[in-house]
Amino acid sequence: MNNALDIKLGFKKFFVRSTINYTRNRIKAQVLYSLKMYDGAIEYDDKALKSSKNNYKAFRIKGLASGQLRNYKEAIKCHDRILRKYSDDAETLNNKGYPLAKIKKYDKALKCIDKALKLVTENEHILDSKGFIIEELGKPEEAIKYYQKAVQINPEDYEIQYNKGKAHQKLKETQEALECFNKALKLDPNYEDAKKAKEEILSTN
């Protein structure tokens, strides 16, 4: 009787300890990701996964961080782990679409994004992704329509403003591009990509 009780109590302590460790490591991973410390975020997400291998949400930050580090195949692998369990997760479908586009698998990327848009029609991040892929396919004018919809939903997103500006720049719409880059820099004065894009325009005009 005592042995059975000891085993039960031991299992309970192990479960509680594992849950605490998982939560603690997940929080650390999220904080590090927000600070753009992507290697550290992956390290703590891996620790979280050791505590709870079947908690698919732990793959989200790891997938996003891997994408930021340009390890696109690892990013896709992480997002796929979530989609095996939650095939209609619009956020993960969008997250998977980006690295697919970066390795030029545009058909697969669009399939993910279009499915995500059917699930959530008014989401700035998914619309931004659609614009990015369309632009990569050589259609900046069409891409701007998606960026514009995304901006209308969230005008405070500096990356969307920048992406819209780059599409205008490809169309040689200098004034519109500058307006977008200036908006991006107003939202984030340290955004290096927007600084470089603005300087490029000013130096050639």
Query: Which of the 8 DSSP states describes residue 190?
Result: T
H-helix or E-strand containing 171?
A: none
Instruction: Report CA-CA distances (Å) from 26 to 15, 95, 108, 142, 143.
Output: 16, 18, 29, 39, 35
For the residues of 46-61, what is the DSSP string, one character each?
HHHHHH-TT-TTHHHH
The rounded percent of the chain whose pLDDT value lies above 70 is 88
Q: Is 71 left (phi over 0), alpha (psi -120 to 50) or beta?
A: beta
Q: Is 138 left (phi over 0), alpha (psi -120 to 50) or beta?
A: left
| 68-126 confidence digits (pLDDT tens) | 999 999 999 999 999 999 999 999 999 999 999 999 999 999 999 999 999 999 999 99
| 62-72 confidence digits (pLDDT tens) | 999 999 999 99
